[in-house]
Amino acid sequence: MRTPLIAGNWKMNGSLALVEDFGRALAEARLPRGVEVALMVPAPYLAAAVSTLAASEVAVGGQTLNDQPSGAFTGEVSGAMLVDVGARFVLVGHSERRTLFGEDDAAVLARVRAALGVGLIPVLCLGESLEEREAGRTEAVVLGQLAAVFDALSPDERSRLVIAYEPVWAIGTGRTATPEQAQAVHAAIRTRLADYAPALAEGLRVLYGGSMKAANAGELLAQPDIDGGLVGGASLKVDEFLAICQSAG
């Protein structure tokens, strides 16, 4: 049995006040048993989120990391720094990092390795653009992004990742993949994971992301190969985010 994971991705949004609101609300909320919850907040808020959320068992994660351990990289954040402030997860290869900040498959792999090296759980994001979907290339693109990382890792390293399938055309657009569209890609990812090892396919969590909200989370999470959500816009409203967590229970 895979433990569902609902991860909020605040992107470059939020404030210290919002961190505190979430801390209060999540400490009081009855999160469903057997569901893991995490919040990926902007780097300046990580330490506050870790201490504010300590009472609620909600984990905290970074949104990116540099692949180098330290050095003259102005503005960057290392995996060791994320660990130092109490983060457990880190997003790697989010489509905004790939398209806006030029992170290619090699850069994504280097960051996954850096995260694993310091004991963070990388949430590896995969997804096709609208153009790629319309050209019938969805599986080729997504499985290619997967292979670019997984082919280079050891069996033990592979077992320590979480995958997030996020069709780029559904991110922040209000246009969600239908449960059937999402399930088809999730199943293809799982079949590909089984080529590495059946136990890997059985154990690894594959989250869906792209305009997930309280109103559509239930039907997405009911799909057999969808093991949770990576939630952007809807993770900035505490009631909406809590409702999504409830539908994973």
Catalytic positions are 94, 166
Cβ closer to ligand PGA: 9 or 78?
Answer: 9
- In whole angstroms, the minimum distance from the beta carbon of 117 to ligand PGA comes to 24
Question: By CB under 6 A, what part of segment 34-73 binds ligand PGA?
Answer: none
Phi, psi dihedral angles at 191 (to 5 degrees): -65, -40
By C-alpha distance, which of 177, 159, 161 is closest to 169? 177
In angstroms, the CA 141 to CA 127 distance is 7
Q: For ligand PGA, which residue of 211, 225, 244, 248 counts as binding (CB under 6 A)? A: 211
Size of residue set near ligand PGA by CB under 6 A: 13
End-to-end CA gap in the chain: 13
CB nearer to ligand PGA: pick between 23 and 210 = 210
CA–CA dist 66, 25 (Å, integer): 32
Q: How far is the CB of 230 from ligand PGA (least distance, A)?
A: 5
Strand segments (E) across the chain: 5-9, 36-40, 59-62, 89-92, 121-126, 162-165, 206-209, 228-231
**Residue 233 touching ligand PGA (CB under 6 A):** yes
Q: Does 216 bind ligand PGA (CB under 6 A)?
A: no
Nearest residue to ligand PGA, scored by beta-carbon proximity = 232
Q: Based on CB atoms, which residue is closest to ligand PGA, 9 or 145?
A: 9
Q: What amino acid occupies position 224?
A: P
The residue range among 114-122, 136-144, 194-202, 229-237 that interacts with ligand PGA, by the rule CB under 6 A, is: 229-237
In whole angstroms, give the CA distance from residue 29 to residue 31.
6
Q: Which amino acid, one-letter code, is at 46?
A: L
- The helix/strand/coil state of 102 is coil
Among 67, 103, 132, 166, binds ligand PGA (CB under 6 A): 166
Tell me whether strands 228-231 and 206-209 are parallel, antiparallel or unpaired: parallel
162 forms part of the interface with ligand PGA (CB under 6 A): no
Site string for ligand PGA, 1-40 (x = CB under 6 A): --------x-------------------------------
- The secondary element (H helix, E strand) that includes residue 195 is helix 179-196
* Nearest to 2, CA basis, from 204, 159, 220, 219: 204
What string marks each residue from 111 to 150 as x (binds ligand PGA by CB under 6 A) or -? ----------------------------------------
Alpha-carbon distance of 175 to 220, in angstroms, equals: 13
For the bound state, the minimum distance from the C-beta of residue 95 to ligand PGA, rounded and expressed in Å, comes to 7
Binding site for ligand PGA (CB under 6 A): 9, 166, 171-172, 209-212, 230-234
